Structure 1
Amino acid sequence: MKNNILIVEDDAALAGLLAQVLRDNGLDVRIAADGREMDAHLRAAPADLIILDIMLPGEDGFSLCRRLRAETTVPIIILSALGEETDRIVGLEIGADDYVTKPFSPREVLARVRSLMRRTSYGVVPGSSGPLRFDGWRVDPVRRQVHGPDHARVSMTTAEFDLLLGFCRNPGRILSREELLSLTHAGLAGPVARSVDVHVSRLRQKIEDNPKDPKYVLTVRLGGYLFTPAVSAT
C-alpha cells in the first residue's frame, strides 16, 4: 500500500507543488487548508505522516501539533517561515519529528518524508530486531513499541523511540550528540546539539521517575550522554 501523507498548508500553490512531487514518487497525498479540514481528513482515514504549516488561519500549526501529539504518534514534519532557533526548538519540544524552514526544496521535504517513513516501517531498524529490556522496561524494535515496568505501553514519537533504541544498543557508552544524531536521525532541524538535547529531555519525561535527577540517561559534561542500565536481549 502507498503511504498516506496529509499536507496541512493554506498556500494552495505551495501545497499543490509539494503534493505533486510526493505523488510523482509514489505517495498518496491529501491536502487540508486549515485545522478543520485536517480533522475532517483524519476522521475519514488516518495519515501515515503529516506535513504541517505553522502560519494557518484559525488554529495555528503549533496548537495543531500539540493536539495531534496528545492523540497520536503519527510522524509530523513542520513547515514554517519562522527560522529562528527558538522556533525550531519549540516545534521539536511540542512533539514534531522534523522542522523545515521556508523557502525549501520539495525534494528536500521528500527526502525527509522518506527518512521518517523508513524509520516507522516495521522491520527496517538496523541492528538486532529482538526486544530489549532494562530495569523492567521493554523496547520492541520491530513493533516500535515501549512498555514500562507496569506493562503499560508508553507512547513515543518517532524521534524519541529512535533515541531510546540507540541508547539501548549502546549501554554504558558515552555517546556524543553527533553520534546520537547518526544513530537515530533525530532532530534533523538543526542545530544538532540543541535538537538532540530537546529529544533527550522529552525522553526523560517518559522513562525517568524524576526527569530533573535522571538515573537512566545521564549528561556527561563536554561528552554527551550515557545510558546507565544493563540491557538484555529477550
Structure 2
Amino acid sequence: MAHHQSIAQLDDTLREICQRLIKVDDGIRDIILFGSAVYAPECAKDIDILITTKEPLEHDAYMDAVSDLPIQVDVIVRKVGERIGEGIAMSVVAFGKVIYGDGATIEEVKKFMPPPSFEDAREYIVIADRTFADAEAEEAHSLKDKLYRAAFDFLFDAGRSAVMAYLNTEETRWGELRRMLSSSFSERFREIINTLHIRYSYDGDYPRDTVKEAYHHWREIVCKFIDDLESAANVAWR
C-alpha cells in the first residue's frame, strides 16, 4: 500500500532505484524523476521516473527491479531520441530532476514539446486550486506547509506557461522568458517570479496568518496576467 516517505527516506529510495535499474540495464543514460516527488516530496504517494536508454529491454524488466520497494514506482522507458507524449514531456521539462546521468534527456524532450497554450496555463490554476484545498484540509503541519508552497508554485507555473504561449517558445527558464517580454509584462512577471516562485514557494516565506487571502490575491493577479497576455497575443496575431 502506498504511503508517504520522509525526505531522507525518499532520497535513500531514489538511490536504491538507480542502483537496481542500472544493474538491470547498463545502457541507461538518464533517469529523471518527475511529478509530485519533485515538487511536494513529503506528500508523494508514488514515484514517477523516466528512463532514457540505448536499447530498451522489456518493460517488465524495469518494473520487476523496483517492485518490492516501500513506495510504488511508475516507470516510463524511452530510447535515445524517441518521442514521448506531450503531457509527460511537459511534466519532465517543468519538474524534471536528474537522479542519474547528465540530464540530456530534458533537452531532448523539450525539442518534441510544442509551446503551451493559454488553456494549458489555466489548467495550472486548476491544479493550484486543488493543491491549496488539499493544504487547507491537511492536519500534519509539515505536509500542510509543503502543499501551500506547491500551490503557490503552481500559480507561478500558470504565469510562466502563459508567457511561453505568448512568446510561442519552448523555453522554460524564467530568467530568459522575462528578458524576452516587453517592459510592462516583464515587470509583472518579475513580481510573480519573486513572490510566488522564490519567496513563497522556494523560501517558504508566505503569510501564514493570512494564507487564504494571499493565495486568492495572487491567483487573481496571475489570472489577469494570463488574460492580458492572451489579449495582446490575439492582437499581434491578427
TM (norm. structure 1) is 0.28
Q: Say which structure is richer in helix.
A: 2
Report which structure shows greater RCO (CA 8 Å, sep ≥6). Answer: 2
TM (norm. structure 2) is 0.27
Q: Say which structure is richer in strand.
A: 1
